[in-house]
Structure 1
């Protein structure tokens, strides 16, 4: 018979397709094969269009007018789009690609597509787009369209379609050079250039067999692509069985460029069960540049959104105190809402240990628990300690203080929330003070931690009340520092009532303070504290400003244990005082133009007056033989611009301020009219005191009757030849000025952004009585869409009183360390130097003592399918050194090399090096999230 191009429509036939997660796109694609064209018919060009249905094993066909006859269009195999064509034409809705696997080089991508590329990628798998009306239809709701260059009925029940065979139903498309359909056996065979398309999926093969009754199908010599995930691979054979499970033989998987994959995962046999969303593979080999680097005889993996147990990639590093450090994590998916990661870890100079992470999530609680255990520490090999041994400063036993000791960590973090209640647990405990520095990430921020928090709390919210109870204590992990008090428990009831513009805040709190060092003669005060803080405010706001007058009262009451109190001390001291305040701001605005851009400038003066009666608190001071005061959780507040408008000059609740003061703040902002971005904000402020402050933290200056005379004496001592006398005079003079000065320090704040990628800030406090900078912090932060990160900062904090006279007399500290200021400069960056290579670096320098706190340098290599980081690092692992309080002889340094590799699509090492970079480089975490790493 004549061979001409035919078109068919079968509107009732449906594809049966399982719905799976994105990781099972290959399973979805194979499932499509089982529902191939079971309708066929033939017609001459310009003849009617046949609509056929299968009824009781026989065909029932109805001729319908063909709305348009057409000649086959000339096609190019580089066509990237679809074209809407005549109804019933599969040919008119098909799409083609430049590359056999839809790979498009970076130069051929659009600007929008290039912006979406991950760093290091030189191209992407781009799915050709169809533009016809049925391209978005679900196959269950779309007609089946067939076309071929020619058809031939071989027998009554079979036929052959040849030449550019196409079967299209909705968004599905199946192509072949030749198709043979046998209605008698319900089978179909497709040969030559098999191409099966589904949104996000492409499968190619040399041949395909189908059983149209059972749904079984097999593709031979197959290749597949998952466009969205950038995954591709091949298989000698892909079979979809009657139970919808999949079998692949000689299969491969990669997320690299298709022409020359840097790594590829190969398996002799792969089984996928779409119902359980679980895949199993046997004889798995990981090849890197063709070289086998990893083998496992058996592997399970997820093929849907479900997590699955399996081995994660190891991490490796090397440090001075432990040598080679190798960790191999194994992930256990125990249930949909909880899992566990077990990490066996070997540290060359310490031994084997096990780390465990448990996660649990339900309707009310989110829990994460961490446990680690090292049996019989082998002592490490700390070079700093060995140096001290060689110099005769410490003994051999002190060089390895944890030799043969068990070391461990317990950490639990939980957040709970119900309709009216909430809870929180934040608990960390370690076996010894050096555990984190020896066995954890040893990041500089970690080395600056002095205490580990152990907190448990629960609360309940009513309409106007929030009632909570908490227990809190700390484990101090720095030698020489005293532990904070325990709060066992603290009960708090906070009321909040509103009547129009009036607002009442009612704070009621009871705390029990205890301490591990509470034996008699320890100079520790323990006991109970109750406090009230009631305030009534009136909030009036307008477009041009606001006023907020406030009145209130505060009260403190103690019940102290007499274990260390002097005879005659009042065990139940108390104090109370009334207070009032008035806060107001006016907004002024004007429009302007700068460098062709419209902006709005504001001027916002703020006045805050605060008055508090003086409550006699002499009974709070000098209560033990050692002269200790009541000071459970209180310290002097650090002055900054935001602190100018507080109602207390203390942090904590053991003092009630006496105050008669006015805070003045001036703020001006420059705002981009179009984007709303704040180019510049400048704030300057100061507190003006109308009376001396009689209440202090330790009451050392009494009633201040001789304050002016004492000021002159201390000023004279600043010129003393005695080092200890000069330091003590400076400390006392600073505290005295806080009580009798007429003005506070000047507080200056500047911040803004020069662009969307560059931000800056400056925070200064200036002491006017001696014309010196009290503290300051300046920074510049840059981050753009091309993964470039740069940070520069400088920190200064004038610091007195960390060392006492014994330190000066016995330790031979030189004059350069007298002020003990904290002055540090910090620079960090991650900077791409090419499409794939980025430099990583940080330098944190102690200017005061001319020493490095942390230095790291390394590189990152990033491609489409893998990423490598190698970083060398040297850092100080003393807490006190990071605070600027140790001389050079006492400083301990550590150094190490950290390596991380991530095979994209399989996983990465992640935690150890990533946590160091997260702490060291501002913007690192945002960069990782930006690029989905």
Structure 2
């Protein structure tokens, strides 16, 4: 049995003290034993001492069989080797377990303490208080009647008719209530017949539970579990519900997912779903992970009453380690019809995915080489009846073999080699960029660069050679094409970096500031070759921006190589925090001079232009969490800004956010706008507990709202409610309207669809209210 130290109170009956000192071999001390650390207890012949610590520390737990037991009370009585009676503020303490009561009767032989009146048990992060209890101190087993309990690890507590403390740190509650609310603000609580808490395995499971919200029962569940840890367990997940109008059908959308923990490396989630006006859908997601493979399988099926047919979706993503350096993979997805995603999918950001990848391949890496071989096909949905909005079908790769080699700093040189051989097939109709039905293309690109880098300047000459060979089959009525194209390219990238202390800006930014001036010149030369008769298997215009203006090719892909005799001049200035290196501001201006004028275009020859549009960009990260980013493109021929994009955001503190952006693009040929949109979004507190969230995206050309999101969040003491409405345009004739609602009972569960991901997609910088109680310090409520 562990050593026991009796610490009487100062009002102890002194007359009886001599006889008590001989009881059961106990020794007495008038020290404040509750503050004595077990590991600091000295041998019997030395007096006990207090050890001063300069900070709160969590000490290692001493095993119970060697840990001393401390007791204290106002009065102490007992019989030698039999019992002792602690009366008046009685306390028994061992390790991190504390037993309190008005009267404690302790039997050393059985190690049982009977507690009568204001019984209290404190153990690690749990506490129990009731009228009476019986506890075996060493084994920490026993019971307590009508306890008020607190489980601080999960921030919850409540009342019970009885609690039993069993072996292996198991706690069993009978006829209990549970909530994470404060007792004086009990907005929601759970009543249950029974709950078992296993502290070692961090599980809490109960039966026959009813959830009450403002005293109204709203949910019954035969089995429930509390989130006591991060371990996975089988059971129902939070049900989701909402109301939507999709594809001309309005009604409720309810899903009750069930999670199945099959094994430590495998699990499955079932998604039974009810769609009013359509029927019942069943979905499943199966995930698996092993040393040599991993993957996810998804499937959905619905007998759609409104559509009149069975509708389904299937997806498979699998990666397999075949040998050292060799990996095989599958990325395959398919749906039953063109309208499936718009009618049944759950788009988060208003952008609906209408192209599904169907790819099988393998990758091999060795000694700087990366080899890819694959077959890639697509399912492209066409939900819009307007031909002007039909999606152009891509070429499919059946198959492709690609090999890349890269080696940097080989005797000061950067060397890269890429070879590719692909057979392309096309299943659509002829178009201006789809002039061939199928064909073979092979290319090889080799480049060598020699960078010269110093803190004040850099210079990188580069030489590359690209050869391409085509053998293609045209549509009926057109001639075949067999052609080789070989083009060399030379480029020279150079720049200077000047830096100074910007003392005049220190006051503005309230810190030490550095300013840089970084002029840059980029020259590229590629001879002209006629390429309009070549197919466009995977090539498009690369666009025009700050990064593209300093590139070697104005096309993205492998079917067009721009003729170049161009030099791009630009200058960048940066404002830096001298102490942290954080970039506070960056401004760039650049223009490309074409000495010969580019002639190669995507489908036709271009009219040569000697000077490109003037590009200017600004990016700021100012003190006070105000950010401003903008890019403008000025065309000298029409004397207009043909592209302008501005984005601003202001975030003074957490959950205070305003975003604003505007984008306008015009066609320099007729100066008509091809894109003219603005967008506002944000999150802002309305009161101490109410938050507003919104997004508004409007197209000035079509004069219609493209995406609209509006919602409210309410943060109570122990629950959060979110209501979000969204309306967006799917196609030229189809729009979707949805409303989402969620109630988070902190520390228990959530009811309703989870709109947090939806809000994050639509409102950059959004910070949700935490659905979990704040973590409890181990020193909170310390006794």
Instruction: Classify the TM-score, shorter chain.
Output: 0.7 to 0.9
Does the 8 A contact of 1:135 with 1:170 survive in 2? no
Tell me the secondary structure at the aligned position of residue 259 of structure 1.
helix
The two structures have a TM-score, normalised by structure 1, of 0.73
Cα separation, partners in 2 of 1:640 and 1:72, compared to 1, 3 Å? closer
CA offset digits 1:885-912 (Å, max 9, x no partner): xxxxxx4333332222222222335756
Task: Name the structure with the higher helix share.
Answer: 1
Distance 1:318-1:362 versus aligned 2 partners, 3 A rule: same
2:341–2:354 Cα contact (<8 Å) kept: no
CA distance in 2, matches of 1:636, 1:760: 28
Task: Note closer, same or farther for the CA distance 1:894–1:274 as it changes in structure 2 (3 Å cut).
Answer: closer
The partner residue of 2:419 within 492, 501, 508 is: 508
8 Å contact kept, 1:42–1:151: no
Give deviations 1:47-103, integer Å, cap 9, x for gaps: 9xx9xxxxxxx9985869x6xx56999xxxxxxxx89999769xx999xxxxxxxxx
Alignment of 1:557-596 (within 5 A): 557-561=469-473, 564=476, 566-567=478-479, 569-570=480-481, 572-593=482-503, 594=505, 595=507, 596=510
* Aligned pairs for 1:622-633 within 5 A: 629-633=534-538
Match for 1:222 among 134, 147, 151? 147
- 1:428 and 1:350, CA in 2 relative to 1: closer, same or farther beyond 3 A? same
Q: Is the 8 A contact 1:83 1:132 kept in 2?
A: no
- Other-structure match for 2:678: 825
Instruction: Identify which of 497, 517, 537 aligns with 2:428.
Output: 517
Q: Paired residue for 2:253?
A: 325
Aligned to 1:460: 364
Larger CA deviation: 631-640 vs 656-665: 656-665
Q: Give the whole-Å Cα distance in 2 for the aligned partners of 1:866 and 1:927.
A: 10
| C-alpha distance after superposition, 1:153-193 (max 9, x if no partner) | 14641111122233334444333332211234442212333
Match of 1:429 among 334, 351, 358: 334
Partner of 1:899: 741
Residue 130 of structure 1 and its aligned partner are, at CA, apart by: 10
- Tell me the residue number matched to 2:397: 487
Which one of the candidate residues 354, 357, 361 is aligned to 2:282? 354
Equivalent position of 1:645 in the other structure? 550
- 2:714, 2:319 → 1: CA distance? 38
Query: Could you tell me how far 1:683 is from its partner in structure 2?
Result: 0.6
Corresponding residue number in structure 2 for 1:116: none
Match of 1:872 in 2: 725
Distance 1:791 1:636 in 2: 30
Alpha carbons of structure 1 residues 60 and 511: separation in structure 2 relative to 1, 3 Å: farther
Other structure's SS at 1:916 match: helix
Structure 1 pair 748–466 and aligned structure 2 pair: CA distance change class (3 A): same
CA contact (8 A) 1:473 1:487 kept: yes
Equivalence for 1:6: none
Secondary structure of 2:552 counterpart: coil
3-state SS in 1 of match to 2:760:
helix
Cα deviation, residue 433, structure 1: 1.8
Verify the 8 A CA contact 1:84 1:132 in the aligned structure 2.
Answer: no
Q: Is the 8 A contact 1:659 1:693 kept in 2?
A: yes
Indicate the residue corresponding to 1:294 in structure 2. Answer: 219
CA contact (8 A) 1:493 1:508 kept: yes
Q: 1:326 offset after TM fit, Å?
A: 1.8
| CA distance in 2: counterparts of 1:931 and 1:842, whole angstroms | 29
Whether 1:151 and 2:61 are equivalent positions in the alignment is no
Cα 1:319/1:132, change in 2 over 3 Å: closer
Pair 93,482 (structure 1): closer, same or farther in 2 beyond 3 Å: farther
Paired residues for 1:62-77 under 5 Å? 69=30
Corresponding residue for residue 838 of structure 1: 691
Cα distance in 2, alignment partners of residues 550 and 435 from structure 1? 49
Residue 585 of structure 1, CA deviation: 1.5
| Cα distance in 2 between the residues matched to 1:513 and 1:178 | 88
User: How many angstroms does 1:322 deviate by?
Assistant: 2.9
User: Residue 276 and residue 857 in structure 1: after superposition, are their counterparts in 2 closer, same or farther (change >3 A)?
Assistant: closer
CA displacement at 1:850 relative to structure 2: 1.7
Does residue 772 of structure 1 match 2:700? no
Kindly state the Cα deviation for residue 409 of structure 1 after the two structures are TM-superposed. 1.7
Q: Compared with structure 1, are the counterparts of its residues 912 and 301 closer, same or farther at alpha carbon in structure 2 (3 Å cutoff)? A: closer
Which of 305, 311, 322 is matched with 1:378 structurally? Answer: 305
User: 1:453 touches 1:473 (CA, 8 Å); kept in 2?
Assistant: yes
> Aligned-pair distance for 1:142?
5.3
Runs of at least 5 residues in structure 1 that lack an aligned partner in the other structure: 1-11, 14-37, 51-57, 74-81, 95-128, 380-402, 622-628, 702-735, 802-814, 882-890
Per the alignment, residue 191 of structure 1 pairs with 116
Query: Superposition pairs for residues 796-835 of structure 1, below 5 Å?
Result: 796-798=664-666, 819=672, 821-835=674-688
2:664 touches 2:673 (CA, 8 Å); kept in 1?
A: no
Distance 1:276 1:202, change over 3 A: closer
Aligned to 1:920: 762
Change (3 A) 1:565 1:758: farther
Check if 1:607 corresponds to 2:607: no
Q: Partner residue of 2:387? A: none
Structure 1's 876 and 337: CA in aligned 2 closer, same or farther, altered over 3 A?
A: same
Partner of 1:696: 601
Give the structure with the larger strand fraction.
2
Give distance in 1, aligned partners of 2:62 and 2:38: 19
User: Is the aligned partner of 1:337 residue 2:241?
Assistant: no
1:283 maps onto 2:283 in alignment: no
Whole-Å separation in 1 of the counterparts to 2:651 and 2:316: 34
Unaligned runs of 5+ in 2: 43-47, 385-389, 776-783
Alpha-carbon contact 1:337-1:362 (below 8 Å) kept: yes
Alpha-carbon shift at residue 244 of structure 1 (Å): 5.0
Offset at residue 274 of structure 1 (A): 5.6
**Among 710, 728, 746, which residue is 1:857 paired with?**
710
Q: Does 1:173 align with 2:98?
A: yes
Task: For residues 744-764 of structure 1, give each alpha carbon's deviation from its aligned partner in whole angstroms, at most 9, with x where no partner exists.
Answer: 121211111123632220022
Q: Against the structure 1 CA distance between its residues 340 and 150, is the aligned structure 2 distance closer, same or farther, given a 3 Å change threshold?
A: same
1:830 to partner: Cα distance: 1.6
The residue that corresponds to 1:680 in the other structure is 585
Contact 2:74 2:89 in 1 (8 A): yes
- C-alpha distance in structure 1 between counterparts of 2:239 and 2:694, whole Å: 24
Answer whether contact 2:459 2:493 (CA < 8 A) is retained. Answer: yes
* DSSP 3-state at the match of 2:277: coil
SS of the equivalent of 1:323 reads strand
On the 8 A contact 1:136/1:171 being kept in 2, the answer is: no
Alpha-carbon distance in 2 for matches of 1:199, 1:501: 62
1:656 alignment partner, SS class: coil
Go from structure 1 to structure 2 and tell me whether the alpha carbon gap of 1:695 and 1:223 turns closer, same or farther (over 3 Å shift): same
In the aligned structure 2, how far is the partner of 1:86 from the partner of 1:573? Answer: 86
Contact 1:236/1:249 (8 A) holds in 2: yes
The 3 A distance-change label for structure 1 pair 164 and 931 is: closer
Tell me if the contact between 1:306 and 1:336 (Cα under 8 Å) persists in the aligned partners.
no
**Contact 2:232/2:261, CA 8 A, preserved across alignment:** yes
Tell me the CA shift for residue 492 of structure 1. Answer: 1.6
Deviation at 1:524, TM superposition (A): 3.6
Answer yes or no: is the 8 Å Cα contact 1:518–1:526 preserved in 2.
no
